[in-house]
Amino acid sequence: MPFGQIVIGPPGSGKTTYCNGLQQFLNVTGRKVSVVNLDPANDFLPYNCSVNIADLITLEDVMREFDLGPNGGIMYCMEFLEKNLDWLENKLKSLGDDYVLFDFPGQVELFTHHNSVKNIIERLGKLSYRLVTVHLVDAHHCTDPAKYISVLLLSLKTMLQIELPHINVLSKIDLMESYGKLAFNLDFYTEVQDLSYLLYHLDEDPFAKRYKELNKTLCDLIEDFGIVGFQTLCIEDKKSVMNLVGAIDKANGYIFGGLTQGNESIMLATANNDQTFYNVSDVQERWLDYKEQWDEWESRNQQEALKEAANQAP
């Protein structure tokens, strides 16, 4: 019973970087990981790719043959993959029970209302894959109330469309405030707290103020569902990655092991259920409130560690 992640998110949200970093991190921890690239527009693959959609179809060939643009070409590629899923199934058989990261394209329409990706994921479920959706969005959207509402709507629609255990992630958290200051503490955005406070800031924007009733209706819709929330990620920070992996492993059941008779990992997982490596207040302190001080402290510690290692060398 293999486990895996469906890695999605808008272009530029860091999906490929995430797959590369997580593959290295999990391999170091002893978990055998394979990455499957299903993005026909991804020409540069920094990770070790076990299955590549380019062996089946390429975006360049589709655009040239059918005179399509990039978005239309990618949608055609996904429809073509859906009709040729036997190819993907045969490739996956060679991976055995590896933990699989599925790197999908970034076109949001594929996950909001187009059915090809949904059908592909459902087929993977029939192959006994225990999957979780990891939806990456750029953290800097939180600095703009209108963009944050858009991210909430996108996340909500994606959750309803794909119908899998789902983890929304604010990626590049270390770069968040390089685009502007947050109006509230970070937990307001990760926990999607009372959005009526956000409406006040929207009204300060002359353009957004024209759509005051629409903004209120959208906020009410998001709060009525009450299912959207976010984890945070800085892919270069070990604690941040550990915290996210812990949440993902709970979502797809990896933390419980194979659920076989005599499997004691279920009891161990229950005992450690409340264990966290990085809560929101820690993230706020590390990457927002005292980022420069933490950077200096970590740099100093690294230099001291290198000196100590050099002194101990024979």
> In this structure, what token pair is assigned to residue 202?
């929207």
Where is average pLDDT lowest: 1-5, 162-166, 283-287?
Answer: 283-287
Element (H, E) at 225: helix 212-225
Average pLDDT value over all residues in the chain: 88
Mean pLDDT value of segment 137-164: 94
**pTM tops 0.85:** yes
3-state secondary structure of 308: helix
pLDDT at 274 over 70: no
> In this structure, what token pair is assigned to residue 183?
């109006």
- Chain position carrying tokens 């087929």: 123
Residue 74 contacts residue 111 (beta carbons within 8 Å): no
Q: With 0-12 CB in 10 A as exposed, 13-18 as middle and 19+ as buried, what is 219?
A: buried
pLDDT band at 276 (very low <50, low <70, confident <90, very high): low
pLDDT at 286 over 60: yes
Element (H, E) at 99: strand 99-103
pLDDT band at 311 (very low <50, low <70, confident <90, very high): confident
- What is the C-alpha separation between 156 and 31, in angstroms, rounded? 31
Residue 21: C-alpha distances to residues 35, 232, 294 (Å)? 11, 15, 22
Where is average pLDDT lowest: 108-117, 193-202, 210-219, 276-285?
Answer: 276-285
Where is average pLDDT lowest: 156-165, 265-274, 275-284?
Answer: 265-274
Residue 57 contacts residue 80 (beta carbons within 8 Å): yes
User: What are φ and ψ of residue 41, in 5° steps?
Assistant: -95, -5
Single-letter code of the amino acid located at 89: E
Among 64, 270, 22, CA closest to 35: 22
* pLDDT > 70 in the chain, percent: 93
